[in-house]
Amino acid sequence: MKIQRSITSLESIIQGLIKDLEKYAQRENANQLYIDKQNSLIKNLVGIHNTINSIRFLEVWQNIDKEMQRLEKIDDQLNSHSIYLHCRPSGHNFSRITYNPF
């Protein structure tokens, strides 16, 4: 599933939970503990949504990861990759970022 479709799906789930909880809360015998738990769940899902949605170039990174995995299957001696990620349509100024999680 493409990331944008996943984000849209998560948004729909959140909206559905909010709508259902609003209906439930209008009941005379609504359980406050259930309402609080659902509100907490919705808050957490919104936080997850906002975090995912704020990652710049998320789909690009997913595609880069797939390409890295493909290349590593071809050559199991690879231990790093050099990637040029263009952030604007033109220009020749580059930075170099070295990241070693090990």
pLDDT digits (tens, 9 = 90+) for 28-84: 999 999 999 999 999 999 999 998 888 777 888 888 999 999 999 999 999 999 888
The predicted pLDDT at position 29 comes to 96
For residue 1, name the pLDDT band (cuts at 50, 70, 90). Answer: low
Query: Domain range for residue 52?
Result: 1-102
Distance CA 38, CA 44 (A): 10
Q: Residue 20 to residues 8, 35, 97: CA-CA distances in angstroms?
A: 18, 11, 46
Residue 21 exposure: Cα atoms within 13 Å on the Cβ side: 18
Q: How many domains does the chain have?
A: 1
DSSP-derived 3-state class of residue 42 = helix
pTM of the model: 0.61
